[in-house]
Amino acid sequence: MKKSDDVISKKAGLPPGALVHVGKRKTEHVKITVIDYDRDHFEQRELASVEECKPYSESASVSWINVDGLHDIPTIEAIGNQFSLHPLLLEDVLNTRHRPKTEEFEEYMFVVLKMLGVSEDRATVVSEQVSFVLGPKFLISFQEEEGDIFDDFRKRLSSGQAQARGLGSDYLLYRLIDTVVDNYFVVVEHISDDVLQLEEVVLDNPDQHVLQGIQLAKKKLIQARKSIGPLREAISILEKDGGKLIAKKTTRHLRDVYEHVIQVNENIENQRDMVSTLMDLYMSGMSNKMNQVMKVLTIISTIFIPMTFIAGIYGMNFENMPELHWQNGYFYSLAAMLVILIGMLFYFKHKDWL
């Protein structure tokens, strides 16, 4: 987190319109692919240069231009020129720390959102920024690296099964957003599994290790909330201000996605509740353990200290100690100790300490 945060401050002091890539370089080459389709035909190609986009975007069929890799600024600028995109929009595409949002421009809509995943060591939520530019007959998507969560959808498109084949670029946008949002459930379920496991451990045998687990879960939830929270408003804007770019029919679908985002957010809040509960459970588990330790110490000490005291008395070297000369003095003293032992045990039994 530290490193990535440092990166965002790279922009401090730069003029707007100065294109800077904020984020890690996640891919070697920038790869531009175009998928052009309508009900009857389907074409998928990797483009060698930005200029090849143009004819696709002007055709009557729907063109989905996908850009993987954001570090090559001249390429991004070339795309901006081709489609006359606003410089601030390009800046936001390149700034991979941007919060999700929808912005309306005269000729197109601009949507930024986050694809979430869980890192391999299950320790962090990783997010990849995806931006969409929706035009009347085209959709440009920018990803930080070659993704795979859209692959299933690509296959359906090419096989001609997908409903999308007969519909516009707005429906394509909806399908991609829907795919991203469906994936949020997977991530949140992953976290909630962790939380359930932590809960079992906390109730069973809390230790310092669990504490780190709780802290990790808390961080993952903060990361997820940060990425998903603002999407609610973004989709609501898309739904309401979609204007001429988004068909009425697609609006109902967006409403559906909107509900899913609300539901994911509720799940995150519930998990946060759970996690803060875990912290309480951990604390009380700790003080329970301490109580156990203290009881053992107390039981042993309060039994043996008085008995040792008796032994101490008859270990004194006074000349005149009558008991020492009794025939059964020793055994009487042992008996006294036994009485103390049994008395104490009864006392602890009574106190429910045993």
Q: Which of residues 32-91 bind a second copy (CB under 8 A)?
A: 86, 88, 91
Q: Residue 316 is inside which H or E element, if any?
A: none
Span of 29-37, 59-67, 136-144, 256-264 interacting with a second copy by CB under 8 A: 256-264
Contacts of 123 (CB under 8 A, 6+ apart): 216
Question: Between 59 and 292, whose beta carbon lies closer to a second copy?
Answer: 292
| Nearer to a second copy (CB atom), residue 119 or residue 288 | 288
Single out the residue of 270, 335, 336, 339 in contact with a second copy (rule: CB under 8 A): 270
Q: How far is the CB of 35 from a second copy (least distance, A)?
A: 16
**Please, which of residues 206-235 interact with a second copy by CB under 8 A?**
208, 211-212, 215, 218-219, 222, 226
Residue 123 found at the interface with a second copy (CB under 8 A):
no
Distances in whole angstroms, Cα of residue 7 to Cα of each of 23, 101, 282: 7, 21, 36
The backbone torsions φ and ψ at residue 110, rounded to the nearest 5 degrees and listed phi first, read -125, 125
Which of 20, 54 has the CB closer to a second copy?
A: 20
Residues 99-118 close enough to bind a second copy by CB under 8 A: 99, 101, 103
Closest CA to 343 of 294, 297, 302: 302
Q: Segment 127-156, which members bind a second copy (CB under 8 A)?
A: 149, 152-153, 156
| Sheet bearing 42-47, strands edge to edge | 42-47, 31-37, 62-68, 138-143, 125-134, 109-118, 101-104
Residue 122: which of 202, 187, 201 has the closest Cα?
187
Please tell me whether residue 21 adopts helix, strand or coil conformation: coil
Give me the least distance between CB of 76 and a second copy, in Å please: 17
Cβ distance to a second copy smaller for residue 58 or 256? 256
